[in-house]
Amino acid sequence: MKRLTQSKTPLFDAVKKHVESNVVPFHVPAHKKGEGLKEFREYIGERALEMDLNGMEDLDFANNPTGPIYEAEKLLAQAFGAQHAFFLVNGTTAGVQAMIMSACEPGDKIIIPRNAHRSTIGGIILSGVVPVYLQPEINESLGIAMGIDEKSLKNAIKENPHAKAVFLINPTYYGVVSDLKSLVRIAHRHEMAVLVDEAHGAHMCFHDDFPLTAMEVGADMSAASLHKTGGSMTQSSALFLRGSMISPEKTKEVLNLTYTTSASYLLMSSLDVARKQLATEGSELLENALNLARMAREEINKIDGLYAFGKELIGTPGVYDFDETKLGINVSRLGYTGYEMEAKLRKEYNIQIELSDMCNILAIISIGDTEESVTALINALKDIASKSEVREYKSPAIILQNPKMIVSPRDAFYSPKKKVPLEKSVGEIAGEMVMAYPPGIPVICMGERITQDIVDYIKLLKEQKCQMQGTADPYINHIMVLGSD
């Protein structure tokens, strides 16, 4: 393919030209450049609302692009080493679900790590495929799931030789990377498509100090959240495709099932500009982010009672490589849970971190961070530690063993359900998901047998005031199970 000029922004340019032409609008949206939403316009400014446009000839159409959106997607594909790229305006969730539905048909099996995001379950329900869960390696001292190894994938393929696809995560929320190249090779040797959730890896191909990406190692499809680590606006992501195993026509057909016919030009323009920035300035911007992350890790590890984990984990079970911009900090020796530390940082220091769990907090260091912002986090942690007593660390109880699937997620979704008290749900088949969010990994999926360990773990998360989602009862005092009243 001919090398394209990555300094161009065809869609952003088309939007700017349209705004500057001052067209009189008799089309949606109803606010008509903000005139019909004056309070909002006064706060965010006129320009953003002038850019809130709809599909038309000079701006192209997201569902069937032939103009500036098409040109912008070609640039996006080439920047990320793909053959085809698609703008997403419903986050990487839309990309994950499109990957599963493009690669599999109802009744097919798909091999998936248990610590996959909730969006994979949505894709499984929508597609009618049957999941085969892989148990990731567990780091018991940190209390988190890591990656998967070659042996576990080989065993899953041996037991499910007719599986249609393998779904992988690169990297995990915590920055952990499996040996993606080897896993792709194993799957392809068995003629299985490889789909990769790179929600947290959109930045990785633009600096040599990051792990390899799905497109770089020959995976068939990947979905990346440019809004998470690439600089675009929230909800804007991208879907990438290469090779001949899955056709772009099939992917486009799947996307059009759920894709809005009113895609946001603000979101898509931000994707266009973020791609340009990564392609032309990404190495320099990411060098700065890496330096800030390394500085933070070094300073935090001088604080008694805290441990900012990083590349020293490489070589331990499930860790082939590591993304240093994921600043995970174990806080257990200070006597806090991660949930308590998150709340303390927000309420007392006006700092919001990305994620907390029973033992850790996670800060994302990105191209938008500065030495000032990172130093504020370090100083807050120093202050908290100076007022805390370092304790002997006790390894947490980890409940990540796969529950037994009794009914497929799709069948469970469409089955009759009844509401029961959480305490009385042991032995029942879950009729809904329960997940801690973030990271959005299911504790129990619909169609699985609820055990006492699962109930106890949900109670523990509730006690820690962990944000949980997926249930009809927002307080999870009750849970939906299969059956009729």
- Mean pLDDT score of the chain, rounded to an integer? 95
CB atoms within 10 A of CB 484: 7
Asked which of 355, 386, 417 is the last residue of a domain, the reply is 386
Q: Are residue 48 and residue 77 in the same domain, yes or no?
A: yes
Same structural domain, 58 and 173: yes
Please indicate, yes or no, if residue 2 is contained in any of the structural domains: no
pLDDT digits (tens, 9 = 90+) for 146-165: 999 999 999 999 999 999 99
CATH number at residue 454: 3.90.100.10
Measured CA to CA, the distance from residue 485 to residue 482 in angstroms comes to 10
Residue 435 has what pLDDT? 84
**What does 143-177 look like in DSSP terms, one character per residue?**
TEE----HHHHHHHHHH-TT--EEEEESS-TTSEE
Residue 393 in domain: no
Percentage of the chain lying above the pLDDT 90 cut: 88
Q: Are residues 103 and 226 in the same domain?
A: yes
Domain-located, residue 401? no
List pLDDT tens digits, range 6-40: 999 999 999 999 999 999 999 999 999 999 999 99
Residue 364 has pLDDT above 90, yes or no: yes
Query: Quick check: 395 pLDDT over 80?
Result: no
Residues 85 and 195 in one domain: yes
Instruction: Pick the last residue of a domain from 229, 246, 278.
Output: 278
pTM for this model (two decimals): 0.94
**Cβ(426)–Cβ(449) below 8 Å:** no
CATH number of the CATH domain containing 216: 3.40.640.10
Q: Tell me, yes or no, whether 122 and 235 share the same domain.
A: yes
**27 and 149 share one domain:** yes
Is the pLDDT at 183 greater than 60? The verdict is: yes
Per the structure, the complete domain to which residue 425 belongs is given by 409-482
- Based on the fold, state whether residues 17 and 133 are members of the same structural domain: yes
Judgement on whether residues 181 and 304 belong to the same structural domain of the protein:
no
What is the Cα–Cα distance from 117 to 92, expressed in whole angstroms? 10
Residue 183 lies in a domain: yes
Q: 323, 354, 386: which is the final residue of a domain? A: 386
Q: Give 468 or 194, the one with higher predicted confidence.
A: 194
Q: Are residues 218 and 310 in the same domain?
A: no
Contact between 301 and 358 under an 8 Å Cβ cutoff? The reply is no
Q: What is the DSSP string of 13-54?
A: HHHHHHHHTT----SS-TTTTTTT-HHHHHHH-HHHHHT---
Residue 319 domain-assigned?
yes
Whether residue 300 is found in the same domain as residue 243: no
Token code pair at residue 438: 């973030």
| Domain co-membership, 73 together with 198 | yes
Confidence at 393, pLDDT banded by 50, 70, 90: low
* pLDDT tens-digit series, residues 275-287: 999 999 999 999 9
Residue 109 belongs to some domain of the structure: yes
Averaged pLDDT, 127-153? 93
- Flag whether 4 is in a domain: no
- Into how many domains does the chain fold? 3
What's the CATH code of the domain at 310? 3.90.1150.10
Same domain, 414 and 367: no
Confirm whether 288 is domain-assigned. Answer: yes
Instruction: Sheet containing 237-241: give its strands across.
Output: 84-88, 237-241, 221-224, 193-198, 165-169, 109-113, 130-134
Contacts of 280 (CB under 8 A, 6+ apart): 6, 7
